[in-house]
Structure 1
Amino acid sequence: MPAEPSRAVRTGAFVASALILFCIQLDFFALNLAVPAISKELGVTVSAGQWVLSSYMLAIGCFFIVGGRMGDIFGRRGILLAGIGLFTVGSVACALAPNLGYLVGGRIVQGVGAGFLFPVSVSVISNTFPADARARVLGALFGIANIGTALGPFVGGGLVEGPGWRWIFWLMTPLTVLALLISLRYVPDSRDDSAPRDLDLVGCFLIVCCLATLTLSLERGSARGWGHPGVVLSFVVALVTGVLFVVRERLARHPLVDLRLFRNIPYVLVTGMGSVANMGYAVTIFISTLYLQGVRGLSPLMAGTVFLAPALMVALSGPLGARMAQHMRPTTVMALAAAVAGTGMYALTLVNAWWAYVPVFACCGLGLGLGWTFSSVATQQLVAPARAGEASGVLLTFLVTLGAVALAVTAAALTSMAPHRPLSEIYDLILQCGGIVVLAAAVIVIISVHLLLRKGRLSAQSDTQEAPHGARL
């Protein structure tokens, strides 16, 4: 039995993981405001410049599952170091990019690195800290990461107006190098000892193809129309490769994703609830950005100031969720988060005065942030540490993919209703529908847990469920 990591090792592993997740969040949210400046300097349209964001999301979404399982199989320390190296190299490439093609290429490298780092960082913490401290430490980890989310727009706006957008990437370089050095010194290695060092390459190829074509379909569908032949073909390829992936995982001797994971009903409920919360978060941020600037007439800086309230609540949601987890089952925390989030989304459409709008917006951010942040903490309580990377990778894939679906549906709704209704009315309708969906998800989770308890499928003290073949999931 391996020796328990020392306090210095645990602290070093936490600092390295928190620093790299902070960088990933800061990088993405800082760059959102830089697209117009990038497009102008590189001489491309803003629509083409959006590929700086789209290519990154495409890469990161495709490699969550692959990165998480590679960490479980080959060793989490090595994959963490590889992910940091890729993210750092990608950052330097972006900072030096002479044109849009090179910049998009650098963003893809960054995205692949981030796709490795998110699930592996979570599994490193799950395998370094004891079970009684795991939720608290993971909550703190995501709290620090979400500080990057809160600071991103201000850092990005300041750098774009000051030394230029390239400094967003230069800022990442020393921070990620520091994370690399700390990881080399402190992060211990761990892996799934029951799994042979044999990666399901066919499964990797199929899931990357499925997610890449699905993301491209959603990206292009809003611009070209959902009936465009290229968009339809992409959807067909995504469907076919998705079905083939499931078939492959059922037949593979050592699958990339053990489909028995989806027999763990609490894991499925938490993943589903986290995905709904992230969909609500994506839609709320998107609609509120349009509302504050298009209807309220705020400048980007003033709109960013309003966003500071929900952003800070999202940052606090990590530690808050960890504290709540000490007294409640994970599904209960998720249901409460959804109740606050759904109510907040609906209430945003009913308030006009600033003294009411800002606190309601903050409560909305707290509920939505707690929903999608705590899902990463909760799933680690519901799976064995040996398969922590796989479980985290699957969860993150659902969060990102369904968030993209929600944005695509929202964009399509705006396009179809814009000629017939005032924009403020459309924004209200979308938020109200979203709030109802999130509240309905909370009710479904509560009813499901109640039924599982009555049938004896769950422990009365926790959500832990005995999985098939005796594995604790």
Structure 2
Amino acid sequence: MRAGSPAARAGAFVAVALALFCVQLDFFALNLALPGIAEELGVTVSAAQWTLSSYMLAIGCFFVIGGRVGDVFGRRGTLLAGTALFTAGSVGCALAPGLGPLVAARIAQGVGAAFVFPVAVAVITNTFPERTRAKALGAVFGVANIGTALGPFVGGGFTEGPGWRWIFWLMVPLSLLSVLTALVYVPDSRDPSASRELDLLGCALLVSSLASLTLAVERGDAWGWNSTRVLVLFAVAVVAGGLFLVRERLARHPLIDLRLFRNVPYVLVTGMGSLSNMGYGVTVFLSTLYLQGVRGLSPLLAGTVFLAPALLVALSGPLGARLAPHMRPTAVMALAGACAGTGMYALTQVTAWWLYVPVFAWCGLGLGLGWTFSSVATQQIVAPARAGEASGVLLTFLVTLGAIALAGAAAGISAMTPQRSPEEAYDVILRLGGLVVLTAAVAVTAVRHRPGVRGGHGRRVDPAGAGRSAT
């Protein structure tokens, strides 16, 4: 299929949108299914939590690798391989006879998703012309965010109905359709300047560091933050991370060009997007506990309440695309942070349903715009040849810091109860999170007005931080 043709653009859009829809739906559907998984497999809910932890561990560790593999060896093949592995993992999850096989299949799903997400963004970037690229990315994330919106509802509904395994069976035909569409329509693209070599030592060090860090923060509350296991994992994360940075400075063909972090707009977008994703994860987590533990709603009813904010999360993708031609990426991110921060704080002040639901929806709009538009903005301020790498780095920050935020929220709840009621503990964490996001939005606004900080609106910034005209 000829790159840039109408058929290639339409096919790439369908393949990428379907793949991302499945990844997002899978990510957000399983939270409400944990009690059902634990009951059927005869394990504790704490043990069943590994189905979430293992997925997050795998996806966080391989984002950068997936993005760089696509840049170096071809994005079409990487997208196909990632989606196929995600599909196989979904079948494995649906058929898993016990917790061990289920966790293994979830790891396969996570690795597949880690290859799909950054490469999917790069496929759209390199298939659509610059004048329609932001609109296409916004529409893709709009479809993907429908998966985010439906996730809690599907998870709760299947758990109460035919069973949690149907969450994974639903993924299989949709993922297969994505594979077939990509096979026929998606053109190949890659970084023409990159050597056909992958920094394997850098990959190993990065995975070791991220895996140790993610595992430590995921299990720290259960194992004890002062336990030997957790302290050793943190030590491994620090040592491996330091060695990775040394390796990337010395390698002939590094996995990550560290000059990327001289690109100030990219750093601002990545920071604000990461905070938005952290806020989204914490808000969903605390609201789930509040709706079921304090309000006493069933998983299905709790999932129904989530439809309001999730709908605005889905709309945040197209909204970002509409804002992109008129505002610089950093300005959109600051606006998203202001909306998200006020929503998180206001959520702790209301209890009446007639006000709680719309405030929850406002919060979802700001947080959704923040972490969704960060991927769109990255493609506006980084050269297309390095789109996969930049997207992979961004997504690694989003997922890893999201895991740290969730662990911090869980630890905060444990520390504050039983001295305070659970509802009071939830409110304290949400208020603190809202203030952090608001402060970051103010900081982004201040920094983006400094001389020399530019990006977007016809100007592209390459990974080394040196701007050049996009035209």
Q: TM-score range by the shorter chain?
A: over 0.9
Q: Are 1:143 and 2:118 matched, yes or no?
A: no
- Which residues in structure 2 correspond to 1:41-440 (within 5 Å)? 41-440=40-439
Gaps of 5+ in 1: none
Q: Which residue identity lines up with residue 314 of structure 1 in the other structure?
A: V
Deviation at 1:278, TM superposition (A): 0.7
Contact 2:257 2:463 (8 Å CA) reproduced: no
Equivalent residue number for residue 458 of structure 1: 454
CA 1:124 to 1:56, structure 2 compared with 1: closer, same or farther past 3 Å?
A: same
Count of aligned pairs: 469
Q: Which residue identity lines up with residue 151 of structure 1 in the other structure?
A: L
Contact 1:331 1:449 (8 Å CA) reproduced: yes
Deviation at 1:459, TM superposition (A): 6.6
Deviations 1:245-284 (A, max 9, x none): 1111011000000001000000000000000111111111
CA 1:470 to 1:346, structure 2 compared with 1: closer, same or farther past 3 Å?
A: closer
CA 1:471 to 1:258, structure 2 compared with 1: closer, same or farther past 3 Å?
A: farther
Deviation at 1:328, TM superposition (A): 0.3
Q: Which residue identity lines up with residue 226 of structure 1 in the other structure?
A: W
Contact 2:157 2:299 (8 Å CA) reproduced: no
The residue matched to 1:283 in structure 2 has which SS?
helix
Q: Could you tell me how far apart the structure 1 residues matched to 2:247 and 2:57 are? A: 23
Q: Could you tell me how far apart the structure 2 residues matched to 1:235 and 1:202 are? A: 20
Greater Cα offset, 325-334 or 459-468: 459-468
Deviation at 1:160, TM superposition (A): 2.5
Deviations 1:357-381 (A, max 9, x none): 1111110000000000000000010
The residue matched to 1:133 in structure 2 has which SS?
helix
Deviations 1:220-268 (A, max 9, x none): 1111211000000000000110111111101100000000100000000
Q: Could you tell me how far apart the structure 1 residues matched to 2:460 and 2:270 are? A: 15
Deviation at 1:43, TM superposition (A): 1.7
Deviations 1:164-213 (A, max 9, x none): 22222222111111111111100000000000110000010011011100
Q: Which residue identity lines up with residue 182 of structure 2 in the other structure?
A: S
Contact 1:274 1:371 (8 Å CA) reproduced: yes
- Which residues in structure 2 correspond to 1:4-23 (within 5 Å)? 5-23=4-22
Deviation at 1:3, TM superposition (A): 6.7
CA 1:371 to 1:470, structure 2 compared with 1: closer, same or farther past 3 Å?
A: closer
TM-score (norm 1): 0.96
Deviation at 1:457, TM superposition (A): 4.1
CA 1:402 to 1:463, structure 2 compared with 1: closer, same or farther past 3 Å?
A: farther
Q: Which residue identity lines up with residue 326 of structure 1 in the other structure?
A: P
Deviation at 1:466, TM superposition (A): 6.2
Q: Could you tell me how far apart the structure 2 residues matched to 1:200 and 1:421 are? A: 50
Deviation at 1:96, TM superposition (A): 1.6
Contact 1:87 1:111 (8 Å CA) reproduced: yes
- Runs of 4+ in structure 1 off by over 3 angstroms are 459-473
Greater Cα offset, 9-18 or 289-298: 289-298
Q: Which residue identity lines up with residue 325 of structure 1 in the other structure?
A: A
Q: Which residue identity lines up with residue 454 of structure 2 in the other structure?
A: L
Deviation at 1:98, TM superposition (A): 1.6
The residue matched to 1:278 in structure 2 has which SS?
helix
TM-score (norm 2): 0.96
CA 1:190 to 1:221, structure 2 compared with 1: closer, same or farther past 3 Å?
A: same
Deviation at 1:148, TM superposition (A): 0.8
The residue matched to 2:333 in structure 1 has which SS?
helix
Q: Which residue identity lines up with residue 348 of structure 2 in the other structure?
A: T
Contact 2:459 2:467 (8 Å CA) reproduced: no
Q: Could you tell me how far apart the structure 2 residues matched to 1:466 and 1:152 are? A: 36
Deviation at 1:443, TM superposition (A): 0.5
CA 1:344 to 1:113, structure 2 compared with 1: closer, same or farther past 3 Å?
A: same
Percent identical among aligned pairs is: 71
Deviation at 1:469, TM superposition (A): 8.3
Deviation at 1:162, TM superposition (A): 2.8
Q: Could you tell me how far apart the structure 2 residues matched to 1:98 and 1:300 are? A: 24
Q: Which residue identity lines up with residue 442 of structure 1 in the other structure?
A: A
The residue matched to 2:101 in structure 1 has which SS?
helix
The residue matched to 2:4 in structure 1 has which SS?
coil
Contact 1:331 1:463 (8 Å CA) reproduced: no
Q: Could you tell me how far apart the structure 1 residues matched to 2:456 and 2:204 are? A: 41
Gaps of 5+ in 2: none
Contact 1:330 1:463 (8 Å CA) reproduced: no
Q: Could you tell me how far apart the structure 1 residues matched to 2:128 and 2:382 are? A: 15
Deviation at 1:294, TM superposition (A): 2.3
Q: Could you tell me how far apart the structure 2 residues matched to 1:416 and 1:469 are? A: 43
Equivalent residue number for residue 34 of structure 1: 33
Deviation at 1:44, TM superposition (A): 1.5
Q: Which residue identity lines up with residue 414 of structure 1 in the other structure?
A: I
Q: Which residue identity lines up with residue 458 of structure 1 in the other structure?
A: R
Contact 1:329 1:462 (8 Å CA) reproduced: no
Contact 2:263 2:465 (8 Å CA) reproduced: no
Deviation at 1:422, TM superposition (A): 2.3
Q: Could you tell me how far apart the structure 1 residues matched to 2:362 and 2:330 are? A: 20
Greater Cα offset, 160-169 or 319-328: 160-169
Q: Could you tell me how far apart the structure 1 residues matched to 2:179 and 2:351 are? A: 47
Question: What's the Cα RMSD here?
Answer: 1.7
